[in-house]
Amino acid sequence: MTVKLQLDRVSKKFGSLMVADDVSLDVDAGEFFVLLGPSGEGKSTLLRMIAGIETPDSGTIRIDGQDVTDLPPNKRNIAMVFQNYALYPNMNVYRNIAFPLKMQYFPPDEIEPKVRDVAKTLGISEILDRRVNQISGGQQQRVALARAIVRNPTLFLLDEPLSNLDARVRFAARAELKKIQRDLGQTFFFVTHDQKEAEVLSDRTGVLHHGVFEQIGPFDQLYDTPATRWIGDFVGDVPMNYVPWTESGTSGSMGFRPEWATVSPDGAQSATVQVAERVGDFTYLLCTTANGLRVYLRSLRSMSVGSEVRFNVDRHVFFGGPKDGEDERVSSERPERLPPRRA
């Protein structure tokens, strides 16, 4: 695998706010990399530094091995899709898609077939003459994508391109995006705060927090073996459960997800049901243990509020140290079979 994009000790501060703190990362050619994190963690800023719109305070950015840190955006041969699509309002759809080619001084007779081709791929041939404010959000997203694809860039940067879509359209667009990336075989660097997108789209996901990558890896890895408590809480529909635990002489806590525990009358642990919610086949239970800890559990049987629930933890990850101290995970225990994840 050749390295397409390399961030080498990149740092960036806004005033006293550290948005990238000595960040290093290699993204392979053809990889779908998702940068995940809550909003305000500096994801867009990192993407903008790769695009050349922001300048890192220090560090080096390389694309295809070439140092592009001091190159302006137009010299980097990258395509970018912004969250609001940034379609040129004074141009129709056709001219929007043709714009990057025009900037590269393609002759008009070469531009036309390229535009029509990509429009056909994305199913927007019918709207090429429309003004961009006369088309739907889903169509706008396709136009933005078409404009990115048409120039055949070396790297695609996408900043939350699905977040402005309605839930229904977003679902279809997400699947389509993955297919497009596979067909193109190009490198995608995709920013989102939506972990579902990371789960569905990514080959690898990096989670940015306090200016550093807390963890980089396939999404399943983030879910099953979170590197830190913070990741455990951030990834997943509900925060991870923690109970005090001692493992190989180290005291710390055991983290487990609802589906990693089995509710049964002869369980070793016990808790009291505070809230019970039926979702699909399962009843989700928010419980408190005798020593006041909150625990999310999942049960096939419905339970009533106030009743006692007993459960066994089938698998867990171990985090050493007190809850709010250094929360590095020191070991994990993996069962042979992964329990089905989420309803």
Partner 1 sequence: MSAGPPLAVAAGEERPPAPRRGRKRWTLANVGFYAVVVALSAALLFPIYVIFLLAFVPDHYTIFSFVPPLIPPALTLTNLETGLALSTAPFLPSMYFSLEIAFLVGVIALAIGIPTAYGLSRLSRGIAYAVTTVMFIVNMLPSIVIAIPITVPFIKAGLYGSALGIALTQELLALPVTVFLLVGAFQGLPRDLENQARVDGAGRIRAIFGNLVPLIVPALAASFLLAWMFSWDESTFALILYSTNPTLPVTIFLTVTGRGNPLVGVAFSFVATVPVIILTVILQKYLKGEDFTVGVRG
Partner 2 sequence: MADHRDEGRPPAPVAGYLRRHREQLLPVLFVLPALAYVGYFAFYPAIDAVVLSFQTPILSFTFYNYQANVNLGLYTWIANTFWLTLGALALQFGLALGIASIVNRNFRGKRIFATIAILPIGISTVVAGYAFSTIFPGSGGGYAASVLSVVGYHETIYWLQTPAKALLAVIIADSWKNTALVVIILVAGYASIPSTLYQAAAIDGAGPLRQFRYVTLPGIRGFIVIALLIRGAQEFNIFQLALEMIGQYPQLLTVQIYVLYTSGEGIYLASAVASVLLGIVSVFILVVLLLGTRQ
The answer for 284, left when phi > 0, alpha when psi is -120 to 50, beta otherwise, is beta
- Choosing from 7, 31, 32, 45, the residue that interacts with ligand ADP (CB under 6 A) is 45
The pair phi, psi for residue 325, each rounded to 5°, is -95, -155
Question: Which amino acid is located at 25 in the chain?
Answer: L
- Choose the one of partner 2, partner 1, ligand ADP, none that binds residue 60, judging by a C-beta under 5 to 8 angstroms depending on kind: partner 2
100 binds partner 1 per the rule CB under 8 A: yes
Retrieve residue 158's tokens. Answer: 């996408």
CB neighbours (10 Å) of residue 114? 17
- How many residues form the binding site for ligand ADP (CB under 6 A)? 11
Least CB distance to partner 2 at residue 59 (A): 5
71 binds partner 2 per the rule CB under 8 A: no
53 binds partner 1 per the rule CB under 8 A: yes
Q: Are strands 188-192 and 32-36 parallel, antiparallel or unpaired?
A: parallel
Least CB distance to ligand ADP at residue 40 (A): 4
Question: Which amino acid is located at 169 in the chain?
Answer: V
- Choose the one of partner 1, partner 2, Mg ion, none that binds residue 79, judging by a C-beta under 5 to 8 angstroms depending on kind: partner 1
Interface region with partner 2, contact rule CB under 8 A, candidates 2-10, 122-130, 203-211, 290-298: 2-10
88 binds ligand ADP per the rule CB under 6 A: no
Instruction: List alpha helices for the chain, DSSP H.
Output: 43-51, 93-103, 108-121, 137-149, 167-184, 195-201, 219-224, 229-234
d(CA 49, CA 80): 12
List beta partners, residue 328.
228
Of the candidates 307, 333, 341, the residue with the CA atom closest to the CA atom of residue 245: 333
For 4, half-sphere exposure in the C-beta direction (CA atoms, 13 angstrom radius) is 21
Contact 338, 304 (CB under 8 A): no
- Choosing from 17, 38, 58, 343, the residue that interacts with partner 2 (CB under 8 A) is 58
CB neighbours (10 Å) of residue 218? 13
- Choosing from 12, 43, 48, 257, the residue that interacts with partner 1 (CB under 8 A) is 48
14 binds ligand ADP per the rule CB under 6 A: yes
- Choosing from 21, 26, 203, 233, the residue that interacts with partner 2 (CB under 8 A) is 26
> Nearer Cβ to partner 2, position 54 or 203?
54
189 binds partner 1 per the rule CB under 8 A: no
Strand order of the sheet with strand 66-67? 17-28, 3-14, 58-63, 66-67
Interface region with partner 1, contact rule CB under 8 A, candidates 72-80, 108-116, 229-237, 251-259: 72-80
Least CB distance to ligand ADP at residue 188 (A): 17
> Nearer Cβ to ligand ADP, position 37 or 236?
37
Please, which residues have CB within 8 angstroms of residue 288's CB and are 6 or more apart in sequence? 271, 272, 274, 294, 295
Residues forming the site for ligand ADP (CB under 6 A): 14, 17, 19, 37, 39-45
Residues forming the site for partner 2 (CB under 8 A): 3, 6, 8-11, 24, 26, 53-55, 57-60, 62, 67, 70
Residues forming the site for partner 1 (CB under 8 A): 48, 51-53, 72-74, 76, 78-80, 82-84, 86, 88-90, 99-100, 103-104, 147, 151, 157
